[in-house]
A and B are shown apart, each in its own frame.
Chain A
Amino acid sequence: MVLALLVLVPAALGLLALVWRQVRVQLAALLGAAALHLVLTAAAWVSRPPAFGAYLALDDVGLLFLSITSVLFAAVAVYAVGYLTAPTHDEPARLHRFVPFLLLFLAAMTLVTATQHLAVLWVAIEMTTLTSAPLVYFYRRGPALEAAWKYLMICSVGIALALLGTFFLGAAEAAAGAAPTLTLSGLMRAAPAMPRPWLRAAFVLALVGYGTKMGLAPLHTWLPDAHSQAPSPVSALLSGALLNCAFLGVLRFFQVCLASGDAGFARTLLLLLGFVSIAVATAFLLGQRDVKRLLAYSSVENMGIMAVGVGLGGAAAYGAMLQAVGHSLAKAGLFFLAGNVLRAYGSTAAGEIRGALRRLPVSGPLLLALVLAIGGLPPFSLFMSEYTIVQAAVGGGHPWLGALLAALLAVAFLAMAAVLLPGLQGRGERRGGAVREGFLAAAPPLALAAGVLVLGVWVPPALSRLLGSVATSLGGAGS
């Protein structure tokens, strides 16, 4: 019941907002859906909801990604209210083109996390593309349309391949002598007897298909465009929640490979694409001039780190899951701050931003903190997770991979710092004094930054247990 409500509440409120265009209704639907979703997710932590019908079931991996999505959406909802009703915003009346899609997007992402039927998973991931594309071209300018078109075409094509991969798994399940079910449990039962070429082909198609959506290089080409052209709250949700959902698609196929006892092939591919992503992202971080594109490439880098962590296995799988949590919180916060910077300076070009520490008394220092956090510096959460992954690589007999990862992470951090930090310093009095930042613009990034900091110092036992059992189900070990 809880699972059904988790999907249906945002979907119903989204449809309501689609037909009832009054501003007050839009805002109530947005905040109401966010609050209810958060409450239902908390209920799922207290007692794990039983499977609902044939399609909805929540396991540990699903619960982790559901929680990330829920927390992030709550932050996005609060921030979006301030963002959309700001007097400087062109036309606040456009609310009805924003809220309904945001809510349907949430429903689709929730379904991704709450199903273990791989065909339903596919339908849900495709729904996330379709519901978020209108959000990407919210501003309907030429570049936004270009970004939305690329996003739609590249992701839809990629995801079509993932469907082929899903059907391959079904064929392999049938060839293993079972009646094809396409459910995770059925596939994992049949996995040891599956013909290897089909299982491997299925994993390759899923990795390419969902990997496109997840932003793994060299399939990431849509990502910087979509993230830089979308409104900031949407970018936050794309980067912090959507990429994780696509990653979950890859992880489901990986779980089947693990059950087959032939995961080496899948691990090698994850490591390969992971390292390529980190390297390509780092190359584009160097000398990047646009703040939002910079953040987008940092997402490519982080998805690469997670792929590497899962590929390595052992304690690195735990690190990868902690990385997913930390990255989502920090990156969403950074996109909020990019939105505040855009409002204060009228641009996200790094060269235009000067003296942000003085001009934005809350966002400036927060930006500094979150740049350090996303760069993996202590005491933030991402330091813990990246350290765990590097240590696991070295301890697991891959010292060269560990060294390579550490070196790439260091370069990526320096590249980001070199772009963003100059904008924080200076006086910037040419453009006037400090800007008043509203509560709605400042509170969400502040809360997210606090979360990243707390998780770096202390991981609550319940979360730690969950991360551990997720890591175990991904062929790793709890920490």
Chain B
Amino acid sequence: MTGAPDVLLLLVLVTDLFIVASGRLKACVRATAAQGVLLAALPLALWVPRGDANLAHVVVIGVGALVVKAIVIPSRLLRSAREAGARREVAPYVSLHVSVLMGALLVMLSLWLARALALAPAAGGGERAALLVPASFATVLLGFLMLVARRYAVTQVVGYLMLDNGVFIFGQRLVGAVPVLVELGILLDLLAAVFVMGIAMHHIGREFDHIDTRALSTLRD
């Protein structure tokens, strides 16, 4: 387990746990931005040293991820948080201690799952980074944890973003299979999703004076 990609992936795992553990909304969003920077560097670290991938493709993906995941979306989230007058705490359903404990368990589950589903190293990039598949699974699972264990709309979007980051990590096995246009389409979809969510949060904030999702449970049978 050596090399730049594995170091990056290890840092991704650290940001995952930091997001789950942090009690402040701003810190949470900033950690998401940091994770975005790590993800932007990942394709470069994975594919440039070998020199067998289309360099322009890899750079475009890296820059795209940097702009979308590390700059635009986090700043939009911070704005949503300010606009909607969200308090600075993350308002967990599950206490932070328990969240961290569950997070650690989910990371271990991911390591086990990646071993159990061991993929024969072939044309993919699996052999280039031992942590690629487990880090991907862990980010997805911790994203789920954020989605279900937090009350504010902003933190739920952070969870969705982590989920998407996890999928992005797994997608790095397939550079070349997904055409660059489509990959940018995926990033653009994510961007649009967060913007539409941001607009929805804006209206929710005006309608209910807060963005606590507990208010959003009147529709039922």
Closest B residue to A134 by CB, please name it.
B196
Kindly list chain A residues whose C-beta atoms are within 8 Å of the C-beta of B196. 130, 133-134, 152
Q: Which of B24-32, B42-50, B114-122 is found at the contact surface with chain A?
A: B114-122
Question: Which chain A residues numbered 64 to 117 have a C-beta less than 8 Å away from chain B?
Answer: 117
A25: interface (CB < 8 Å)? no
Contact call B177/A149, Cβ cutoff below 8 A: no
Kindly list chain B residues whose C-beta atoms are within 8 Å of the C-beta of A175. 119-120, 122, 124
A153: interface (CB < 8 Å)? yes
A388: interface (CB < 8 Å)? no
Closest B residue to A154 by CB, please name it.
B147
Assembled-state Cα–Cα distance A324/B219 (Å):
28
Contact A126 B193, CB 8 Å, known A163-B186, A182-B177: yes
Contact A148 B200, CB 8 Å, known A123-B185, A174-B123, A195-B119: yes
B218: interface (CB < 8 Å)? yes
The main secondary structure of chain A at its interface with chain B is helix
Closest A residue to B162 by CB, please name it.
A160
A46: interface (CB < 8 Å)? no
Assembled-state Cα–Cα distance A423/B119 (Å):
59
A463: interface (CB < 8 Å)? no
Contact call A170/B147, Cβ cutoff below 8 A: no
Most buried by B among A120, A150, A168, A180: A180
Contact call A164/B170, Cβ cutoff below 8 A: yes
Which of A134, A148, A170 touches B174 (beta carbons < 8 Å)?
A170
B1: interface (CB < 8 Å)? no
Contact A117 B186, CB 8 Å, known A174-B174, A225-B219, A229-B219: no
Contact call A142/B207, Cβ cutoff below 8 A: yes
Kindly list chain A residues whose C-beta atoms are within 8 Å of the C-beta of B203. 137, 140, 145
Closest CB in chain B relative to A192 CB, distance in Å: 16
B96: interface (CB < 8 Å)? no
Closest CB in chain B relative to A280 CB, distance in Å: 11
A428: interface (CB < 8 Å)? no
Closest A residue to B184 by CB, please name it.
A123
B216: interface (CB < 8 Å)? yes
Which of B147, B173, B189, B208 touches A123 (beta carbons < 8 Å)?
B189
Assembled-state Cα–Cα distance A142/B197 (Å):
15
A284: interface (CB < 8 Å)? yes
Kindly list chain A residues whose C-beta atoms are within 8 Å of the C-beta of B219. 143, 146-147, 150, 224-225, 228-229
Closest CB in chain B relative to A57 CB, distance in Å: 15
B213: interface (CB < 8 Å)? yes
B84: interface (CB < 8 Å)? no
Contact call B174/A149, Cβ cutoff below 8 A: no
Assembled-state Cα–Cα distance A282/B179 (Å):
44
Kindly list chain B residues whose C-beta atoms are within 8 Å of the C-beta of A464. none
A19: interface (CB < 8 Å)? no
Contact A167 B117, CB 8 Å, known A119-B182, A140-B207, A142-B218: no
A177: interface (CB < 8 Å)? yes
Kindly list chain B residues whose C-beta atoms are within 8 Å of the C-beta of A142. 207-208, 218
Closest CB in chain A relative to B42 CB, distance in Å: 14
Contact call B120/A195, Cβ cutoff below 8 A: yes
Closest A residue to B113 by CB, please name it.
A201
Closest B residue to A164 by CB, please name it.
B167
Kindly list chain B residues whose C-beta atoms are within 8 Å of the C-beta of A323. none
Which of B144, B170, B197, B208 touches A152 (beta carbons < 8 Å)?
B197
Kindly list chain B residues whose C-beta atoms are within 8 Å of the C-beta of A170. 173-174, 177-178
- Name A residues whose Cβ lies closer than 8 Å to a Cβ of B: 54-55, 117, 119-120, 122-123, 126-127, 129-130, 133-134, 137, 140-143, 145-150, 152-153, 156-157, 160-161, 163-164, 167-168, 170-171, 173-175, 177-182, 195, 197-198, 201, 224-225, 228-229, 284, 288, 293
List 7 other contacts, CB 8 Å, given A129-B193, A171-B173.
Answer: A119-B179, A130-B189, A145-B204, A149-B200, A170-B174, A182-B174, A195-B119
